[in-house]
Amino acid sequence: VEASVPEEQREAWKKHSAKEFKTKDQFEADVVRHIETTLARSLFNCDEAAAYAGTALALRDRLIIEWNRTQQQQTFADPKRVYYLSLEFLMGRALDNAILNVGMKDVAKQGLEELGFRMEDVISQERDAALGNGGLGRLAACFLDSLATLNYPAWGYALRYRYGIFRQEIVDGYQVEVPDYWLDFNPWEFPRHDVTVDVQFYGGVRKYTDDSGKQLSVWENGEIVTAVAYDAPIPGYGTRTTNNLRLWSSKASHGEFDFTKFNSGEYEASVADQQRAETISAVLYPNDSLDRGKELRLKQQYFWCAASLFDIVRRFKKSKKAWKEFANQVAIQLNDTHPTLAIPELMRILLDQEGLEWDEAWSITQATFGYTNHTVMPEALEKWSVPLVQHLLPRHLQIIYDINFHFLQYVERNFPKEREMLSRVSIIEESEPKRVRMAFLAVIGSHKVNGVAELHSDLVRTTIFKDFVKIYGPDKFTNVTNGITPRRWLHQANPRLSALIASKLGGHEFLRDLNLLHKVEAYVDDEEFRKEFRAIKYANKVRLAEYTKAVEGITVNPSSLFDIQVKRIHEYKRQQLNIFGVIHRYLELKSMSPEARAKVQPRVSFFGGKAAPGYWMAKMVIHLINQVGKVVNADPDIGDLLKVVFLFDYNVSKAEIITPASDISEHISTAGTEASGTSNMKFVLNGGLIIGTCDGANIEITREVGEDNIFLFGNLAEDVEDLRHAHFYGDSFQLDPSLQRVFDTIRSGTFGDAGPFSGLVDSIVDHGDYYLVSDDFKSYVETQGLIDEAYKDQEAWLTRTITAVSRMGFFSSDRCIDEYAEMICELFPPLAVWRREGWF
Ligand code: C3B
């Protein structure tokens, strides 16, 4: 509904239009007003939580003013927009980021002080928005920050989960999952009760002939669930552009509950529908890189795709442009295969509702979508059972079959001699039951497909999509190496390092152009710079030590080498290799003379990360780490030489404390399994070095920082297949004696009941060691030895870390976004145009 205020009243309107605070006084006034009126508190009962709420609301006002302005400008200019469809956005906290991005850090800090609060305390009141599992969700969050910072007209679309990723507690050394109800106070979202979409499930398809004699299909008689939009403003750094993240919440289509049923006394039934509807957006699925094939998950995917597509098409239709303009106005990027149903959904809209012919609808669809693949591991590739799709989305299944028919015809025509290729590339897998291969549908329905690091993109081309490269040619497949936002992962997480760099580079421009970091290398021999750099690392380690004492009750010495591995717990990421290495170290220490011990480099091994609730092996890894910690940390022979810490409930805000404190971080996946990794980038950017395998972005990090500034070990991706084969078919399996000793120690009960750990050990000894822990153990341990030696020369170590930091410019998510924009979305950096038009 258009509801503009008439011309005559606009003067009054403009005079009273909301203004953003600029000065400390205005900021304080806004905070106090919100505390007193929005929260109904006063200076006599304002705790830190209320101070946080008041501050957040003051900042939110500001963001919304800019958000309104951005949206008005975009509606007016109607540029091509990019829509990022991601089931996960792991945003973390918003307040600190908002204050930074709008350039109000000093104002807010001083203002809060005058009102009696410390900024750090206020900021730490906020709960993380944890609508994601790990790397994929955090990447989406970094991308939103970069898109806004670079002034791209971009929207994120996701679900408004009532429960984000579970909170992790550790009880008796085991992971326990606790629900994350994060919405009791969330000042960052705006319910848009007027922006709703009715989404259909089940029902049937009827064919009919319209007046012109054309055959059409209609999907009808299904169950309707309503999607309600909740908007979160996404401010760019140092720009007024404020983009939108739109989250859909599900509710019953007939309102709160069914009055007819209620009035006839069926009280429970009257709310049952409502609960069923609300279930759709209730929880984030807590699996990382694993497909479970559950109906509710498919419902989530369709609900979200349908609501988002409706919204996108509605916005396009407002412009009254012809359909052939659609892909010039709309780019949709699919974050993994989770949103692949958007492809048949757009086809359905174009065919059934807009009456386009197949060929035109298909070329629009293909030109609109781009698909980013994030894994080549088979267990993560989504496949939906055909009977399930038939039941839930009968019209979509027809369309998928039609897409497949056209595609296979094309393949048959062009590769007549390769009949066996047809079943290999078919969207439908001939299994029992048949299954829809979502990755194939995504490839076929998109004009570009990209991997997230060079090695990964090569594997994408040579393994899972090999046939498609042949069919479409190599240009359809490309690489965009991941990146991270330096605003959060340098300036926010490590303000003192950011300040030091700014002092040398003459300002914070590097936060916008991270390549400027290369100028830091000129200071690598500057004594004053080195002193401050070292002091910063030490202070960050002290902060982590204090945190460790406070939450885990473990005392660690900040002068020790801090070795950190924080990420989702997964066999392919090989936390088991790390903890076996720790046990080996412990056994070595135990067998040493006191003189020999005196020469050992003290070390703290930190771990953190969640295991999917149903992932037994990952949970046992957590248990083993905790049990080893109990024994080692209490052993008087060992003292400070080795401590083992499991930091529970790893999340984004904790990562901001942990990342700047590493000397070494571990990125030790089986070669070829970690598509990119992004925490590797965060650690190096914060002055830590890496021990890693030749996998994912580690390879490009090596190329950038130089081989001397990273510790690589282990087998290469190209050898993995042969090694796996040898485990299964080789005649003698010789375990490295040190690893054998580690296993013997575990089995002897040194770390408590060995029963729970048998699966871990057996998977290596008896079940083929799929992740090649035994193959890489020796070189891993040796490389850790080299690290101990290297760390003793503190000056050389410092030189390496400074050099590495200065060479990390490539890994900014700003660079990724520009690559996506140019290569995939065909968007042009709008800043220049907007400046010219006087918007900035
Ligand atoms: C992850 C990959 O495992 C990481 O290597 C990669 O850096 C990130 O995506 C971002 O590209 N990933 C994930 O978190 N969840 C999946 N389902 C698949 C990949």
Is 678 part of the annotated catalytic residue set? yes
Looking at the structure, tell me whether residues 759 and 827 fall in a common domain: no
Rg (CA), the chain: 28
The answer to whether position 514 is within a domain reads no
Looking at the structure, tell me whether residues 174 and 157 fall in a common domain: yes
pTM for this structure?
0.97
- How far, in Å, are 251, 348, 349, 361, 369 from residue 353 at the CA level? 24, 7, 5, 11, 20
Give yes or no for residue 833 having a pLDDT over 90. no
Residue 631 CA to ligand 1 center (angstroms) comes to 34
Strand spans (E) along 387-510: 428-429, 435-437, 448-451, 477-479
Mutation pick for ligand 1 pocket among 143, 336, 374, 668 (CB with most ligand atoms within 8 Å): 374
Task: Report the pLDDT averaged over residues 201-216.
Answer: 95
Poorest-confidence range of 347-351, 380-384, 621-625, 799-803?
380-384
SS3 content of the chain, % helix, strand, coil (to 5): 55, 15, 30
Beta-carbon contacts of residue 765 (< 8 Å; ≥ 6 apart): 733, 735, 743
Catalytic, out of 368, 678, 702, 801: 678
Cα distance between residue 202 and residue 2, in whole Å:
34
Looking at the structure, tell me whether residues 469 and 452 fall in a common domain: yes
Task: Kindly state if the Cβ of 312 falls inside 6 Å of ligand 1.
Answer: no
Looking at the structure, tell me whether residues 392 and 288 fall in a common domain: yes
Structure tokens at 411: 């393949």
For 341-378, what is each residue's pLDDT tens digit?
A: 999 999 999 999 999 999 999 999 999 999 999 999 98
Percent of the chain with pLDDT over 70: 98
Q: What is the dihedral of CA 81, 84, 90, 96, to 10 degrees?
A: -10
Task: Report the pLDDT averaged over residues 781-786.
Answer: 98
Residue 672 CA to ligand 1 center (angstroms) comes to 13
- What is residue 673's predicted lDDT score, i.e. its pLDDT? 98
Residues comprising the chain, all counted: 840
Looking at the structure, tell me whether residues 41 and 161 fall in a common domain: no
- How far, in Å, are 88, 151, 334, 814 from residue 147 at the CA level? 17, 6, 16, 8
Residue position matching structure tokens 């693949």: 373
The answer to whether position 535 is within a domain reads no
The residue nearest atom 16 of ligand 1, judged by CA position, is 289
- What is residue 266's predicted lDDT score, i.e. its pLDDT? 81
Structure tokens at 827: 């968007």
* Among 339, 337, 357, residue whose Cα is nearest residue 347: 357
Task: Report the pLDDT averaged over residues 147-159.
Answer: 96
Looking at the structure, tell me whether residues 117 and 192 fall in a common domain: no
Residue position matching structure tokens 């700047």: 660
- What is residue 90's predicted lDDT score, i.e. its pLDDT? 98
Is 396 part of the annotated catalytic residue set? no
The answer to whether position 808 is within a domain reads no
> Buried (b) or exposed (e) across 499-533, using 16+ Cβ within 10 A?
ebbeeebeebebbbebebbeebeebbeeeebbebb
For residue 87, the 8-state DSSP code is S
Looking at the structure, tell me whether residues 180 and 113 fall in a common domain: no
Question: Residues 97, 66: contact at Cβ < 8 Å?
Answer: no
Residue 214 CA to ligand 1 center (angstroms) comes to 45
* Among 372, 449, 452, 371, residue whose Cα is nearest residue 697: 452
Task: Kindly state if the Cβ of 674 falls inside 6 Å of ligand 1.
Answer: yes
Structure tokens at 810: 């490539």
Q: CB 141: neighbour CB atoms within 10 A?
A: 26
Residue 3 CA to ligand 1 center (angstroms) comes to 44
Task: Kindly state if the Cβ of 139 falls inside 6 Å of ligand 1.
Answer: yes
Structure tokens at 777: 């153990």
Cα distance between residue 212 and residue 592, in whole Å:
90
Computed over every residue of the chain, the mean pLDDT equals 95
Mutation pick for ligand 1 pocket among 87, 136, 288 (CB with most ligand atoms within 8 Å): 136
pLDDT band with cut points at 50, 70 and 90 for residue 256: low
Give yes or no for residue 255 having a pLDDT over 90. no
Ligand 1 atom at shortest distance from the alpha carbon of 380: 17
Q: What is the 3-state secondary structure (H, E, C) of 371-415?
A: EECCCCCHHHCCEEEHHHHHHHCHHHHHHHHHHHHHHHHHHHHHC
Question: Residues 452, 824: contact at Cβ < 8 Å?
Answer: no
775 exposure class (CB count in 10 Å sphere: 0-12, 13-18, 19+): buried
Catalytic, out of 448, 541, 567, 815: 567
Could you tell me where the DSSP H helices lie in 95-178? 95-101, 105-114, 119-123, 135-149
Q: CB 146: neighbour CB atoms within 10 A?
A: 26
Cα distance between residue 98 and residue 236, in whole Å:
9
Strand partners, 176: 169
Sheet of 428-429, strand order = 383-385, 435-437, 428-429
Give yes or no for residue 574 having a pLDDT over 90. yes
Give yes or no for residue 527 having a pLDDT over 60. yes
Task: Kindly state if the Cβ of 136 falls inside 6 Å of ligand 1.
Answer: yes
**What end-to-end distance do the CA atoms of the chain give, in Å?**
30
Give yes or no for residue 257 having a pLDDT over 80. no
Task: Report the pLDDT averaged over residues 138-143.
Answer: 98
The answer to whether position 5 is within a domain reads no
Looking at the structure, tell me whether residues 135 and 192 fall in a common domain: yes
Task: Report the pLDDT averaged over residues 684-698.
Answer: 98
> Buried (b) or exposed (e) across 410-446, using 16+ Cβ within 10 A?
ebeeeeeeeeebeeebbbbbeeeebbbbbbbbbbbbb
The residue nearest atom 13 of ligand 1, judged by CA position, is 136
pLDDT band with cut points at 50, 70 and 90 for residue 434: very high
Is 567 part of the annotated catalytic residue set? yes
The answer to whether position 509 is within a domain reads no
Mutation pick for ligand 1 pocket among 334, 375, 650 (CB with most ligand atoms within 8 Å): 375
The answer to whether position 501 is within a domain reads no
Ligand 1 atom at shortest distance from the alpha carbon of 452: 11
Q: Is the peptide bond before 433 cis (omega within 30 degrees of 0)?
A: yes
Mutation pick for ligand 1 pocket among 133, 284, 287, 289 (CB with most ligand atoms within 8 Å): 289
Task: Kindly state if the Cβ of 380 falls inside 6 Å of ligand 1.
Answer: yes
The answer to whether position 500 is within a domain reads no
For 68-100, what is each residue's pLDDT tens digit?
A: 999 998 998 899 999 999 999 999 999 999 999
Looking at the structure, tell me whether residues 119 and 143 fall in a common domain: no
Task: Report the pLDDT averaged over residues 100-125.
Answer: 96
- What is residue 274's predicted lDDT score, i.e. its pLDDT? 87
pLDDT band with cut points at 50, 70 and 90 for residue 739: very high
Looking at the structure, tell me whether residues 82 and 42 fall in a common domain: no
Task: Kindly state if the Cβ of 374 falls inside 6 Å of ligand 1.
Answer: yes
Residue 64 CA to ligand 1 center (angstroms) comes to 32
Structure tokens at 128: 């993380």
Ligand 1 atom at shortest distance from the alpha carbon of 290: 17
- What is residue 299's predicted lDDT score, i.e. its pLDDT? 98
Cα distance between residue 791 and residue 711, in whole Å:
12
Cα distance between residue 775 and residue 574, in whole Å:
12
Poorest-confidence range of 62-76, 348-362, 516-530, 572-586?
62-76
Ligand 1 atom at shortest distance from the alpha carbon of 134: 14
The answer to whether position 9 is within a domain reads no
Residue position matching structure tokens 């206020």: 122
Percent of the chain with pLDDT over 90: 90
Question: Residues 334, 414: contact at Cβ < 8 Å?
Answer: no
Counted domains in the chain: 3
ipTM of the complex in this document: 0.99
- What is residue 80's predicted lDDT score, i.e. its pLDDT? 93
pLDDT band with cut points at 50, 70 and 90 for residue 700: very high
* Among 575, 643, 655, residue whose Cα is nearest residue 615: 575
Task: Kindly state if the Cβ of 135 falls inside 6 Å of ligand 1.
Answer: yes
Task: Report the pLDDT averaged over residues 249-263.
Answer: 81
Range of the domain at 110: 16-77+104-125
Task: Kindly state if the Cβ of 128 falls inside 6 Å of ligand 1.
Answer: no
Residue 375 CA to ligand 1 center (angstroms) comes to 6
Q: What is the CATH number of the domain that holds 272?
A: 3.40.50.2000
Task: Report the pLDDT averaged over residues 389-400.
Answer: 98
Residue 819 CA to ligand 1 center (angstroms) comes to 19
- What is residue 669's predicted lDDT score, i.e. its pLDDT? 98
pLDDT band with cut points at 50, 70 and 90 for residue 479: very high
Is 537 part of the annotated catalytic residue set? no
Looking at the structure, tell me whether residues 339 and 425 fall in a common domain: yes
Task: Kindly state if the Cβ of 126 falls inside 6 Å of ligand 1.
Answer: no
- What is residue 9's predicted lDDT score, i.e. its pLDDT? 87
Ligand 1 atom at shortest distance from the alpha carbon of 132: 14
Give yes or no for residue 834 having a pLDDT over 70. no
Task: Kindly state if the Cβ of 288 falls inside 6 Å of ligand 1.
Answer: yes
- What is residue 830's predicted lDDT score, i.e. its pLDDT? 58
Looking at the structure, tell me whether residues 706 and 739 fall in a common domain: yes
Task: Report the pLDDT averaged over residues 31-45.
Answer: 96
Cα distance between residue 744 and residue 587, in whole Å:
11
What is the enclosing helix (H) or strand (E) of 61? helix 48-77
- How far, in Å, are 57, 201, 452 from residue 248 at the CA level? 22, 16, 27
Give yes or no for residue 730 having a pLDDT over 70. yes
Catalytic, out of 395, 682, 800, 807: 682
Give yes or no for residue 839 having a pLDDT over 50. no
Cα distance between residue 298 and residue 457, in whole Å:
27
